[in-house]
Amino acid sequence: MHALIDGNNLQYAAAEAGPWDEPGRVRLCHILGEWGKKQNKLVVVVFDGAPPPPGVTALMRQGSIEVRFSGPGRCADDLLVEAIRVHSAPRRLVVVSSDRLIRAAAKRRGCRAVGSAAFVRELVRGLRRPAPGPAEPPEKRSGPSPEDSELWLRLFDADES
């Protein structure tokens, strides 16, 4: 997990400060999935309440995004604080929320804590940037195969000694 997001908080901030017309949960998840893909980050979004019907939930889980719901009797804040507490690499985690309690929990664990409105601006900038290029091919680090080496030695008439 690279980004842990308070979904309700971000939805409100995106409606207030973002370039989108009041995005619903599905639209917000698509935006975050696209951002996560471009940034090569796994995005976990936590919303309050029970999950919507399965068809809607499937629409929300596009790209590199995981969507969680607090369920009845719990709030998303509880899930967010717990996820921060148990995360194995908190220094690599970005926590997005305008809730001071959640940001304080993130800072205590060494996470990067970002307010929702600030993250909306970061999100817009990140979506404008081109996606990163392809990763290096594994051959670059491991070198040519024995067959390729033989071929190159023959082509260049090199002595193997």
Name the residue ranges covered by the structural domains of the chain.
3-135
Q: Give the pLDDT band of residue 105 (cuts 50, 70, 90).
A: very high
| Residue found under tokens 């719990």 | 74
Q: Which CATH class is domain 3-135?
A: alpha beta
pLDDT tens, residue by residue, 33-87: 988 888 888 999 999 998 888 878 777 877 779 999 999 889 999 999 999 999 9
pLDDT (mean) for 115-123: 91
| pLDDT of 61 | 78
| pLDDT of 138 | 64
pLDDT (mean) for 123-129: 82
132 or 27: whose pLDDT is higher? 27
End-to-end CA distance of the chain: 50
Q: Which of 83, 89, 87, 88 is nearest to 68 (CA)?
A: 83
